[in-house]
Amino acid sequence: MAPVSPNVPLIVVRPPSPRLAEGELTHLDRVPVDPDLARTQWEGYVAAFADRGWGVVELDAAPEHPDGVFVEDALVVVDRLAVLTSPGAASRRGELVSARAGVDRLIASGLDLEVAAIEPPGTLDGGDVLKVGDVLYVGRGARTNEEGIRQLAALVAPYGHRVVAVPVEKVLHLKSGVTALPDGTVVGYEPLVDDVAAFVPFLPVPEEHGTAVVDLGGGAVLMSADAPRTAELYRSRGLEVVTVPISEFERLEGCVTCLSVRIRR
């Protein structure tokens, strides 16, 4: 890996496996997934960041792991701390090997990171971790347990962050139900949010696939192309909205947040 340019935000990604359609499902019925279309959509997703000046760090392909493209679940980065998670689904624990190798390459290329890990019996999926200012909302549900949350809280406390645990039962991960706009407003589709009162301020959105946004910087957000009314809502708040089609990943309970790990510097 070449040295990383200073002050350039990065995304860490992994290409989709040819076995993507075999990925874990919790709340959705299994439907056909087109691996070729998924690859095209993934490339468009990555290009949306690159077009905005983000550097792209690609982890080694993991064709044996159907869910490996959802790289956010294996790695959480908070300030200078890179936390290797402890996935709640046993089938996903092998993804940590290439995630750790990617972090090691980042450090070797000049990125200043400390590395820690969630240890069993703790479980933690990165999709359950929502950072809003100095608060980390962490979803407690099927993939993340109390011990995983306790360990994460202890790891991030020295960096000035505190953890707030919230229930997650209606969706797979916390960020399947809520994310946050650049100003810190938490957004979500109310029928899929277990405890709306946990988030202040909270903005309800009109479409399920409008819940997930990524802050691209400069007043722009990235979101699914499958939520046009929500996109207009965000534009009405003065945001520039970049949309990408990710239908093949949404069929597997994925969204725009779980396809990358964002490292802002």
What gap in Å lies between CA 139 and CA 73, rounded to an integer? 12
- Going residue by residue through the chain (265 aa), what tens digit of pLDDT does each one get? 556 677 899 999 999 999 999 998 788 888 889 999 999 999 999 999 999 999 999 999 999 999 999 999 999 999 999 999 999 999 999 999 999 999 999 999 999 999 999 999 999 999 999 999 999 999 999 999 999 999 999 999 999 999 999 999 999 999 999 999 999 999 999 999 999 999 999 999 999 999 999 999 999 999 999 999 999 999 999 999 999 999 999 999 999 999 999 999 8
At residue 1, the pLDDT reads 59
What gap in Å lies between CA 130 and CA 76, rounded to an integer? 10
What is the CA 102 to chain-centroid distance, rounded? 17
Fold classification of 10-263 is L-arginine/glycine Amidinotransferase; Chain A (3.75.10)
> Known catalytic residue: 255?
no
Sheet holding 129-132, edge to edge: 129-132, 135-140, 162-167
Q: Within a 10 A sphere around the Cβ of 80, how many other Cβ atoms?
A: 12
At residue 51, the pLDDT reads 97
What gap in Å lies between CA 116 and CA 176, rounded to an integer? 25
Q: Which of 65, 173, 209, 255 is catalytic?
A: 173
Q: Which of 65, 161, 209, 258 is catalytic?
A: 258
Beta partners for residue 131, in sequence order: 136
Task: State the alpha helices, DSSP H only, in the chain.
Answer: 35-50, 95-108, 146-156, 174-177, 228-236, 247-250
Domain boundaries, the chain: 10-263
